[in-house]
Amino acid sequence: MKVLLINPPYTYQTPWLQITEPLGILYLAAYLRSYSSHNIGVVDCLDNHSIHKIGKRLYWYGLTHVEMIKKISEFVPDVVGVTCMFSKKKNDFLGCLRVIKSHFPAIKIIVGGTYPSLFPEEVVHTGLVDYCVIGEGETSFHRLLNILDNKENGSLLDLDGIAFLNNGNLVLNPKLDYIENLDHIPFPARDLINYEAYITRKSVLHGLGLRRSASILTSRSCPNRCNFCSMYRIHGPRWRGRSAANVIDEILHLVREFGIQDLFVMDDNFTFKRDRIVAICDGIIQAGLRIRWNTPNGISINTLDYELLNLMKKSGCKSICIAIETGDEELRNKVIGKRLSNSKIKEVVHSAANLGIFITAFYIIGMPGETRDKFAKTLQQIVSLPLNGVAAAFANPLPGTKLYQDCIENNWCLLENSSDDNHNILYKPFIVTNDFSEEELIKREKAFYRTFMRAKIFTIIKDTLLMRNLLIYPPFLMRVVKDRLLRH
């Protein structure tokens, strides 16, 4: 069969969204190309620099629907697979499916990604899809195609990780079987898209990306269960990592084939297994690879110490992102579930700072139970720690998380951000409890950035001149101007 995988276009409220390559469908394409006889193609609607303003505060990213339909017509697929990498892109994703369904009613439509995996029943009942692949998709998608093409005996009713309607009745098989040895999955099929557009896009992430840059994924899932995270429901309950040798081979491939100089390690828990990260760092050093790398998604503080950070630095690590979440230890551990002490945070941050590693700390504002006194501890912490940057997000109860369930059970007010021009906005509060109102949370966010800027002004000026921080990143500057973020 001819199978066309699509990374759809989407909308956002600013024209400066940082976009990295769609590793999910590129892994899927590589797997199908290696282990099946199906003819595989990819339409990455975002592998260009096309951005169009379509509303007062809304921009269209990527190919238009007309352009996408033209590419589908040229490929003439039997099956179209569409991904939705973020739940916040739900409306754009469903709009894309409607267009495809209306133009190609006979083509089988299979969907996957974060939103379909978390809400397969909702997606199937839209009537826009034939099958929904849940979670890690390589093996389930492969078997589904083979059964549809009569290349494999078996019943779809028994297929792992799939949802569909059978004579009007929902079939929902949870994902239980995950790939144990990730080395068996080929490197992402970067040759099937306009990869040069990503390499030269200059998507600056925490100081890197001005040079030729690429993303890499060396492991899947995370053993931790923070109350706001649903990633383990996508990538499985257990952390699995590629071998160090396999990771080094891909880095060598990226350097030799694409001239990559900056590398974004996009794992959810890159440093979970110490001997593996040591072997990766040693391998980079021994191979003489002169690359710079960082961890934009964050790494677990509990896995770090001076010795490991020193080795990471020697192998090219220029910056790390760490998830602290709050300055209050009780809120961090009993509510969020981090199992992370203030003393460990202090040890690791000072160690990284002494080594000259750029440190960005992630925080959450508005977690249930965050009183004014607890928030004050966050302000005290960002002043006392030698951080280069901070990033705050409002507590977001994504459906499928413990936080969402807690909000429902406790009748905490969930604020709606779903109008046409702001359904992607992430810098507005989502939760209201007895501890804070929406207005109070907005004031806290302003106090957070204002406090950090005042305390670290000389560090910020130095890092800005060295292009190491996001102070000159247009979306942040626009927020400063429009929302008066750093003013009383």
Q: Check whether residue 96 and residue 215 sit in a common domain.
A: no
Is position 189 within any domain? no
Is position 436 within any domain? yes
Q: Check whether residue 121 and residue 20 sit in a common domain.
A: yes
Q: Give me the CATH number covering residue 135.
A: 3.40.50.2300
Q: Check whether residue 169 and residue 204 sit in a common domain.
A: no
For residue 395, which of 384, 387, 406 has the smallest C-alpha distance? Answer: 406
Count of structural domains within the chain: 2
Q: Check whether residue 239 and residue 141 sit in a common domain.
A: no
Average pLDDT for 319-325:
97
Q: What is the pTM of this model?
A: 0.92
Residues whose CB is less than 8 angstroms from the CB of residue 365 and which lie 6 or more positions away in sequence, other chains included: 375, 378, 392, 393, 394, 395, 441, 444, 445, 448
Both structure tokens of 117: 């995996």
Q: Check whether residue 231 and residue 360 sit in a common domain.
A: yes
For residue 325, which of 338, 316, 313 has the smallest C-alpha distance? Answer: 338
At position 462, the amino acid (one-letter code) is: K
Is position 190 within any domain? no
Question: 418-435 pLDDT, tens per residue?
Answer: 444 444 455 689 899 999
The pLDDT > 90 percentage for the chain reads: 79
pLDDT value, residue 203: 74
Is position 182 within any domain? no
Of the three residues 127, 156, 173, the one that is the final residue of a domain is 173
Is position 130 within any domain? yes
The H or E element spanning position 412 is none
Question: 32-53 pLDDT, tens per residue?
Answer: 999 999 999 999 999 988 999 9
pLDDT value, residue 81: 98
Is position 179 within any domain? no
Is position 186 within any domain? no
Read off the DSSP letter of residue 154: -
pLDDT value, residue 233: 84
At position 5, the amino acid (one-letter code) is: L
Q: Check whether residue 304 and residue 442 sit in a common domain.
A: yes
The pLDDT > 70 percentage for the chain reads: 93
Q: Give me the CATH number covering residue 408.
A: 3.80.30.20
Q: State the CB neighbour count (10 A cutoff) for residue 210.
A: 12
In order, the DSSP letters of 333-348 are IIII-----HHHHHHH
Q: Check whether residue 391 and residue 341 sit in a common domain.
A: yes
Q: Check whether residue 273 and residue 366 sit in a common domain.
A: yes
Average pLDDT for 282-310:
97
Of the three residues 173, 191, 221, the one that is the final residue of a domain is 173
Q: Check whether residue 160 and residue 220 sit in a common domain.
A: no
Residue 302 has pLDDT above 80, yes or no: yes
Residues of the domain holding 359: 199-483
More confident residue, 206 or 402: 402
Is position 185 within any domain? no
pLDDT value, residue 400: 76
**Which SS3 state, helix, strand or coil, does residue 358 take?**
strand
pLDDT value, residue 422: 43
Read off the DSSP letter of residue 164: E
pLDDT-derived band at 92, boundaries 50, 70, 90: very high
pLDDT-derived band at 232, boundaries 50, 70, 90: confident
Average pLDDT for 182-205:
93
pLDDT value, residue 331: 97
Q: Check whether residue 168 and residue 205 sit in a common domain.
A: no
Both structure tokens of 265: 């390690």
Question: 359-377 pLDDT, tens per residue?
Answer: 999 999 999 999 999 999 9
Of the three residues 173, 190, 225, the one that is the final residue of a domain is 173
At position 342, the amino acid (one-letter code) is: N
For residue 22, which of 215, 233, 257 has the smallest C-alpha distance? Answer: 215
Q: 3-state secondary structure string, 68-99?
A: HHHHHHHHCCCEEEEEECCHHHHHHHHHHHHH
Question: 151-186 pLDDT, tens per residue?
Answer: 888 899 999 999 999 999 999 999 999 999 999 999
pLDDT value, residue 204: 77
Q: Check whether residue 360 and residue 458 sit in a common domain.
A: yes
Q: Check whether residue 378 and residue 420 sit in a common domain.
A: yes
Q: How does the average pLDDT of the chain come out, rounded?
A: 92
